[in-house]
Structure 1
Amino acid sequence: MSAFRRTALALVWLAILAIAGYAISQRLQVSGDLRKFMPSAQTPAQKLLLDELGEGPGSRLLLMSLGGADAETLAAQSQAIAATLAADARFSLVANGGEDALAAIPERLRPYRYLLSPTLDAQRYDEAFLREELDARVQDLGSPAAALLEPLLPADPTLETLRIAEAMQPATAPQRLHGVWFDQAGREALLAIETKSAGFDPTGQQAAVATIEAAFAAARGNTAATMTLTGPGAFSVEIGGRTQREASWIGMVDSIGLILLLLIAYRSWRTPLFGVLPLASAGLAGLGAVAFVFADGVHGITVAFGFTLIGVVQDYPIHLFSHQRAGVSPWANARAIWPTLATGVASTCIAYVTFLFSGVDGLQQLAVFTIVGLGVAALTTRLLLPALIDPAPRDPAASPRLARLWSAVARVPRPRGWRLALLAVFALAVLRFAPGPFWQNDLSKLTPVPADALARDAHLRDELGAPDVRWLLAVRGPDAETALRRAEALKAPLDALVAQGALAGYDSAANVLPSAATQRARQAALPTPDALRAALDAAVAATPFRADVFEAFLADVETARTAKPLAPRDLVGTPLATRIGGLLIENDDHAVALVSMTGLDDPSRVAAAVGGREGVALMDLKTASESLVVAYRGRVLFALGIAALLLAATVWLALRAPRRALRVLLPMALTTLLILAVLRGFGVELTLFHLVALILAAGLGLDYALFFEHAGDDYEDQLRTLHALIVCSLMTLLVFFLLALSSIPVLRAIGLTVTLGVIGNFVLALLIARHPASAFVGGPSGPSSSPGGPLGAIPQQIGPEGPPTGKER
């Protein structure tokens, strides 16, 4: 086949991939919900963390500060930004301390203020109370607040609307200057913004952050004002941007390096083009399989890890290119290396089959992606790629430099068993006695957010009185009504803790929406229409007000007295729904009312104050997250243990000789121990990402050892294998060494682990799995029909090990 036809076929293959990529993109839905990579919850705290708080207000909250200008200018900018964002559908709450009290309750629910406000718990709407309230309103109308209060008076002379608005504010709100929130120093205007997109939705958070930045730019004008934005969503956007920037330069350097490496190794511009086709096929096949099997969306981590893990498939075409030489059909060459290649593919896939039974959706997606990707890459290398490659390229076995290198390698003595055992014992000793924790369970330490940004976030949370993100009181019940009643019972002990200074404040679902029982009790305390009118007339007589001014008040009280108590579903579409949505969580079989706390210094005092109450539990979400990590790691380790046994059995069956199987498996096992020892020796606490990287490193090591063992004692085949594995290892080393330089902890962990794995696996496979080298006198120079070399070849030993006594198998 001519070079022109081979290039044309490659372009056809590329076009088919482009069409397939477009088709897959139409079906593919990428998810950012990290809960897909967590095991099922086993404790109430874990369930609260995953199922209920995964999309809760804590993950949606963005904290914003404006500085760099005078207080009056900053206040005006705060109001402009708040007005812009409040009108945007991306945000469910925008608070800056300047909210309109009339907007706290919409018109259709305004009569219910008498059921929501706590006034009737201690007061009655009798003549004395009404006179006292009306006298206060006369004073208010002579104050600067008159313009705000006057529209409220005809329907709400007792200002219950303002009391409800206050209940919607944080437990410890910041000071107000010029009508908006400011920090204690009075130099920064503060805003709290809640997005409708969950914190696990990177696309939604990115759109929200972009909208906030645009609103600030419009409000800033020509002033010198500056903006600081913190919170989970802002951090995820910043991390995503940094990851994309690093991925761009790493990808650019990788691409240039890999192209140059392939050009140097094969002296052909077509080789880089042809070599990428199986890899692209693998990636698209993996994506398509996951998109088809998992209809609820493919997680972004699956895509990122999947393409990293199937990076091993770049080795498959390299083996085909390096073993190709004149006089041998590319199809015959592919058939010769196929048994070894297939063994490596099958063994690597086994490691991921076990993930299908892990019970973790993300791991199952990763398994499907990788298994399908590896299989497609291997099959396209075997069945399609031979039609594209040059049947008579430059033979790597003819390279004098490669021959000198192999000669030097042949003079290195094969490590004896006791030395390898000593190395393993040393690695185990490091693992056992290295100081510091072995595992890293604290997910917060994996964040790439800079320390100064985290400190700024903590400062804003303190200034805004944001609740503690670790401790929560969870009040459970079979339904929302029971949960709210039990939450109401906590008011007395929590108020006592606030009075004692053990808490700065707290927010409870029951403060926003009282239970139906409490609402009915307040209804019973409301006077009848005649009694209320008589009391009001008597109270009005001693004030400048006219009696007919308050007809709307009389109507609203009667509506509240006879109305059905409000339920959570009645608040949908109102600011109250936003407030209650973060504090009351309803499921099919239970409900949870949450109490968030600020200024919590001693959790044990809270636990003692509320202990023993039915359905009430103090939740430590940090401990819950760590226990989830431990459970997740346990599943991964169990899966890897089963995979290791299956992998060893596969290699054993494929090679059908214990000694050959041991030569292949030993380098991989020793390298894994050495990687762990090096990481622990330098004080690295191991994470789940190190485990994932170890799987990839093990797959690479298996590939190296299989091909060194496959070359047998055929000298020329050994040279071609050495050439292929040098190219493979250098390509992999370049990619993961650059990842090891990343500022993103996850990428750095994967890059460092695989870099160590490439070096260790290549060196140990070269020392352990290779056969003694022989030069061939006469006989064919084609590919071996068996792992030992060409049929009919007469081996002649070169190097210091003496003549062979027979081929080792």
Structure 2
Amino acid sequence: MSKLTNAIKQKFAFAVWLSVLLTAALYCTSKIQRGDAFETNILGLLPASVTEDVQSELNKKSGFDRKFAILISADIDSDALAAAASLGTQLNTLNNVSIDQHDGDQVTALRNFYRPYLHQLLSPDWRHRLQQSTPLEIANIAYRELFNPVAKFRPYSMAIDPFNLGGDWFAYILPQQNRFRASDLPSVKNGDNIWYIVSGELTGSPFSPVVQTPISSTLAQFSEKHSELRILRSGLVFHAAEATALSSREISTVGLGSLLAIVFLVVTVFRSGPALLAIALTMSASVLGGLACCLLIFDRVHLITIAFGSTLLGLAVDYCFHFLIKYRQVADAPLAGRLLARGLLFSAASSIFAYVFQLLSPLAGLQQFAVFMCAGLAAAALNIIVLSQYFREAPSPSFNRWLNIYPQYVAPIYRRLSLPYKTISVSLFVLTVALSTLLLNRENSDDIRDLNSSSMALMASEAKVQNLLGIAGTQRYLRITASNEQERLEQSLNIANQFDTLRPSQPLPASHVLGRLIPPDAQQRADFELLRDKLYGKQGAIYELCQLLNNDCSTWQGLAASFQPDLRPSSLPADLRPLFPASLFSTSKETRILINLDNDTAVALEDLLANNPKISYVDKVAQLSTSLQLFRHNTSIALAVFLLAFTVAMFIIYRTRALAPLITLGIVIAVSLVCATGAGISLFHILALLLVIGLAVDTSVFYLELGLTAETWLASTLSAITSVLAFGLLALSEVPVLHQFGSVVFAGLLCSWLLSPLIFHLFRLTPTNELAVRPISTNKDMLS
């Protein structure tokens, strides 16, 4: 009766566990199908406090992250024009894409907006001319321009603007205004090449695959069809699409590599369907547990978290290998579970404890990673417990040959190596000191730009487009705050003029400076009075021009009769704001000036701003890099605290026997970092140590509990092989974060696998659990 009751309990537990896994699978599937489960924005890994400025409402309102531009050129200009027009038409049919229209409406809107203020807005050239030239000199210049065969752009008629003040003003605030033609695409000439511009804006997030895929696919098909064209791309959507494709490809590579390695080893070593099913169930349970918990706690899970989290498979399969091999030894699943229980629980608990520390980090990516790993490890351990009550398989006569590898070939090598005890001990001590010295002299790597996963071709294309179009990046800017609108305009105008003195060869575009686009009242009034006196006064340039034209000037009387005081930034029409970055990055509380800096100018700018508390220089790249440095520092401290706590726990549980695994762990950590951090130690190198520590601890704890035997060595070897094959692939990744992670894991796991048996032979340790070393059962025993 008791056996029947136990069987019912076992089946019930297994049914409950399968129900939990099925529920987790359905929940994850539903989230993924809705398209809101994952994100690829690297800033999503950082805390909101760090990305607050980057992801502020002002940045979102500006729409800069949603804008894109595609430039097309060809040997025959007409071919490029036709191809660009065709591409624009194709893109405009896509959802979430709006192509800019250049049909003359913007020029008309600009004319209408600035028309009332024509005689109080002066470009610097006109202001200098009025201040330095005589009325006759000004009139002669205007007279010659009237008969110049290459006439300047003239937005207003001679009747209202005889000196073409409007044309100079338009050229000042919008140097590329000649691109906006009623029947043509905008274009820019570079040497002998004319580049036609197809620009637009996304109506959705550039990080959404639903937005990325259509525009990327359309452009790829277009490029393939028109191989004769030269095509440049600029826009966050293209970088995000590359990151998404690359991350997905890397994750697939790691997942496929892990799966193939595990299937190959299970088929080769165990030759058992139930064993393969047990491993598949354990890995599935770990991944489902981790992903479901992440999706429950966080709005979205970053793909980098999934890539890092895939290392969970190495720990999960390690547990399962130990169980399967111990089952082959004792031919009793519940007994195998009991023999493994202490080591399994201690190993899982120590790994979970290490990841729990990361929950204290403000780094959002670390928190996701910690939740994924903690939940996944708990699920894997629980799955082994359930399996130990239910698992059954037929014996495999060929399995013993795998167990013979260690006693016949491996153990003799380690015994010979460990015989010169003092020599090996001193060598290991010297090695540890040398590695520690190298680590102390190694620099750190915290530059956020090192995490960029865009291809060199795309980066080169982006740089060329920005150079051709005169686009400034949004990563560096001057932030100007003031108590009222006029003060902000004055401050922006003054600091822009001072900045231009630092770099006279590259003055700031007027479209980037709100005080130039909409001058403060004082500047407008001063320009109005100068213009009224010098141009339209009784002896002004208008009088001299009339003499040259034999005109009585009756139509030009009273052109500068009154000042219009209502020109404000808020009055700029919404459809014109995209032309002027200054208007996009301005609110009632602040305005920004986008700038590009070299090192010398940055030092001079710092001195310029030293005594002006209302103007500050913001470098978002430097801020994010500083944040990464802080997180690396905090993570290193948390890891050190964990290692200290782990050391104390090991000595409490295992006494002096703990020296062997602790020495092994110390050398493994040092080797991992030295081999993988040639370019500097980053946050993600430190994170990779968590997996290395987890697997190294697993190996050492099972060696302590069960002894360094044929069974434990084989289980640890199979786990190391699958992990090295799978996560060693990350070392070849083109994604910098994954490459850093994979390099540490590869070096660490290889070192742990090779070094652990040597250290245990040096210490000549016996197993804690004497029952674990009972003789291997024969096939006859298993059948009975």
Aligned partner of 1:264 among 268, 275, 298: 268
The secondary structure found in structure 1 opposite 2:72 is: strand
In structure 1, C-alpha distance between the alignment counterparts of 2:292 and 2:673, rounded to whole Å: 35
Give, in whole Å, the separation in 2 of the partners of 1:85 and 1:23. 30
Partner residue of 2:319?
316
Query: What's the TM-score, normalizing by structure 2?
Result: 0.77
In the alignment, what sits opposite 2:188? 182
Distance in 2, matches of 1:450 and 1:620, equals 23
Query: Cα deviation per residue 1:548-596 (whole Å; 9 max; x = unaligned)?
Result: 999xx99xx99x9475x5455x658423156347752549xx5342242
Query: Does the alignment pair 1:670 with 2:673?
Result: no
| 1:744 and 2:735 correspond | yes
Which is worse superposed, 355-364 or 32-41?
32-41
Structure 1 residue aligned with 2:278: 274
**Cα distance in 2 between the residues matched to 1:498 and 1:192:** 32
Where do residues 288-687 of structure 1 align in structure 2 (5 Å cutoff)?
288-295=292-299, 297-309=300-312, 311-325=314-328, 328-384=331-387, 386-390=389-393, 396=399, 399-405=403-409, 407-408=411-412, 411-414=415-418, 416=421, 419-420=424-425, 422-433=427-438, 438-451=443-456, 453-467=458-472, 472-477=477-482, 482-497=487-502, 499=504, 501=505, 503=507, 505=509, 507-511=511-515, 514=518, 517=521, 561=564, 566-568=568-570, 573-576=574-577, 579-580=580-581, 584=585, 586=587, 591-597=590-596, 602-607=601-606, 612-653=611-652, 656-679=653-676, 683-687=678-682
Q: Report deviation, 1:744.
A: 3.3
Indicate the residue corresponding to 1:21 in structure 2: 28
Taking the aligned partners of 1:401 and 1:81, their CA distance within structure 2 comes to 64
- Whole-angstrom CA distance in 1 between matches of 2:446 and 2:46: 13
User: How far 1:697 moved relative to its partner?
Assistant: 0.7
Cα gap change, 1:460 to 1:451, in 2 (>3 Å): same
Counterparts in 2 of 1:742 and 1:595: CA distance versus 1, 3 Å: closer
Question: Are residues 425 and 57 of structure 1, via their aligned partners in 2, closer, same or farther at CA, if it must alter by over 3 Å?
Answer: farther
Quote the Cα distance in structure 2 between the aligned partners of 1:88 and 1:27.
Answer: 18
How many Å apart are 1:266 and its aligned residue? 0.7
Partner residue in 2 for 1:698: 693
> Residue 387 of structure 1: SS of its match in structure 2?
coil
Cα separation, 2, equivalents of 1:155 and 1:384: 90
User: Is the Cα contact below 8 Å between 2:266 and 2:275 reproduced in 1?
Assistant: yes
> For residues 642 and 233 of structure 2, what CA distance do their matches in structure 1 show?
45
How far did 1:187 drift?
2.0
In 1, the alpha carbon distance for the partners of 2:19 and 2:741 equals: 35
The answer to whether 1:37 aligns with 2:45 is: yes
Shift of residue 304 of structure 1?
A: 2.3
Q: Could you say which residue in structure 2 is the equivalent of 1:711?
A: 706
> Following TM superposition, by how much is the alpha carbon of 1:346 offset from its aligned partner in structure 2, in angstroms?
0.8
- Cα offset for 1:166? 4.5
Contact 2:343–2:705, Cα closer than 8 Å, also in 1: yes
- Distance in 2 (alpha carbons) for counterparts of 1:752 and 1:498: 44
Correspondence 1:169-318 to 2 at 5 A: 169=174, 180-189=186-195, 191=197, 193=199, 195-196=201-202, 201=207, 203=209, 206-207=212-213, 209-210=215-216, 213=219, 224-230=228-234, 232-249=236-253, 251-295=255-299, 297-309=300-312, 311-318=314-321
Q: SS at the partner of 1:224?
A: coil
Q: From the superposition, tell whether residues 580 and 571 of structure 1 become closer, same or farther in structure 2 (CA, over 3 Å).
A: farther
Q: Structure 1: give runs of 5+ residues left out of the alignment.
A: 775-783, 796-809
Normalising by structure 1, report the TM-score.
Answer: 0.75
1:69 aligns with 2:60: no
User: What residue in structure 2 maps to residue 803 of structure 1?
Assistant: none
Amino acid at match of 2:447: D
**Residues 357 and 75 of structure 1: is their aligned pair in 2 closer, same or farther, counting only changes over 3 Å?**
same
Q: Which residue of 1 aligns with 2:754?
A: 763
Structure 2: stretches of 5+ with no match in the other structure: 1-6, 129-133, 777-784
The amino acid that maps onto 2:29 is Y
Identity among equivalent positions (%) equals 18
**Following the alignment from structure 2 to structure 1, what is the Cα–Cα distance between the partners of residues 220 and 169?**
32
Q: Does 1:730 align with 2:721?
A: yes
**Distance between the aligned counterparts of 2:367 and 2:116, measured in 1?**
50
Task: Please list the CA deviations of residues 702-744 of structure 1 after superposition, one character each: whole Å capped at 9, or x if unmatched.
Answer: 001111111137xxxx222122112111111110222223333
How far off is 1:23 after superposition?
3.9
Mean alpha-carbon deviation: is it higher for 32-41 or for 340-349?
32-41
Does the CA contact (< 8 Å) of 2:283 and 2:380 recur in 1? yes
Query: Counting helix residues as a fraction of each chain, which structure ranks higher?
Result: 2
Equivalent in the alignment of 1:807: none
Counterpart residue type for residue 615 of structure 2? V
1:165 to partner: Cα distance: 5.5
In 2, are the aligned partners of 1:205 and 1:234 still within 8 Å (CA)?
Answer: no
Q: In structure 2, what residue type is equivalent to 1:651?
A: M
Mark the CA change 1:443 to 1:226 in structure 2 (over 3 Å): closer, same or farther. Answer: same
1:119–1:236 CA distance, 2 compared to 1 (3 A)? closer
SS in 1 for 2:695: helix
CA deviation map 1:365-414 (0-9, x unaligned)? 22112111111111122124642442756695674444423542563454
Q: Partner of 1:191: helix, strand, or coil?
A: strand
Q: Which of 670, 684, 687 pairs up with 1:689?
A: 684
Shift of 1:194: 6.2
Change (3 A) 1:32 1:247: closer
Distance 2:583 2:338 in 1: 62
1:805 corresponding residue in structure 2 = none
Letter in 1 for 2:642: A
CA RMSD, 1 decimal? 5.3
